[in-house]
Amino acid sequence: MAMTRTLGRSGRTVSALGFGCWAIGGPWQSDGQPAGWGEVDDQESIAAIRRAVELGVSLFDTADVYGCGHSERVLGQALAGVRDQVAIATKFGLVFDEQRRTSGGVDVSPGYVRRACEASLRRLGTDRIDLYQLHPGEVDAAGAEPVLATLEQLVAEGKVVHYGTSVEAPEMVRAFAAGASCVAAQQQFNVFGGNQETLELCQRLGLASLCRSPLAMGLLTGKYRPGQRLGADDVRAATPYWDYFKPGRMEAWLQQLAAIREVLTAGGRSLAQGALGWLWARSAITIPIPGFKTVAQAEENAHAMAFGPLDDQQMHEVDALLRGQART
């Protein structure tokens, strides 16, 4: 049996591990900058998703803008035939051109949210979205009310089952949690850090915490070395949101990783599996959503559920080692 968690106030049981589907969207541009993770093989993506389902993964997180619709199309194709066994999460609010594979701008007006939902349903080949999430960070808590009203209408119509926010600011999480069908918030969280206030708020409000970049955009897999550089079409090289691969910063992150590697890989875990185990031990509400591009990555991530959370002793050791790194 796969390890499971509850999807917040929904009471619905899902796998403790979700699969993030940004990377399988392939190349696209946002405001003129690379926004994908390089080239993809759609057949490999489909095989990886189907293998994940076989291994007990029942939550898949994407967004309409990933690959400008491409990720949703690939995910929908892969899940055809097993749709009722899984929960599909997607996002809305970023404007894009599917033909040109470019995005830019934000729209969370009621009309746009409704059109985005209909378009996602078509691309995913489904009649409902299990978790529909606000995507753009440009929206603040003051702008949440009309968005929530639209989402509640979509719930009433059966097009959306539950909703949440991918904007992790505590005030936005509070605003969304006021909605009757809100069950989750996404936040960046991994062994290197995360927003503790948001995590505690989710715990108090009964929301699941979907943890994006649980493997630090791939750095926690252990396959990168100092001085290694990513391809020019890889968003991780140019983004302002993470510095895991920035020259001059990557080396510092790799030093932290070296300090905790032995603890994370104890008991036969791979480094990635240890990093996922750390997140499960961090809180009972965390659901890490690592990305993937290959069947091998899908298998490695899914097998982390067989190991489960790190134990208390391991958590204390990781904490002490990272504190030691911070002092040096």
Map out the domains of the chain with their CATH numbers. Answer: 4-327 (3.20.20.100)
Three-state DSSP class for 157? coil
Q: What's phi and psi for 69, nearest 5 deg?
A: 100, -20
CA dihedral 12, 18, 19, 21 (to 10 degrees): 60
What is the pLDDT at residue 239?
A: 84
Q: Report the first-to-last Cα separation within the chain, whole angstroms.
A: 43
What is the pLDDT at residue 163?
A: 98
pLDDT band with cut points at 50, 70 and 90 for residue 232: confident
Segment 66-88 mean pLDDT: 98
pTM of the full structure: 0.98
Interval 167-176: pLDDT, tens:
999 999 999 9
With beta carbons less than 8 A apart as the criterion, state whether 208 and 7 touch. Answer: yes
> Does residue 264 register a pLDDT over 70?
yes
CA distance 207 to 200: 10
What is the pLDDT at residue 325?
A: 86
Q: Which of 284, 281, 276 is nearest to 216 (CA)?
A: 276
286 contact partners, CB below 8 Å, separation of at least 6: 5, 189, 199, 209, 211, 279, 280
Segment 138-157 mean pLDDT: 96
Segment 123-147 mean pLDDT: 96
Three-state DSSP class for 50? helix
What is the pLDDT at residue 173?
A: 98
> Does residue 154 register a pLDDT over 80?
yes
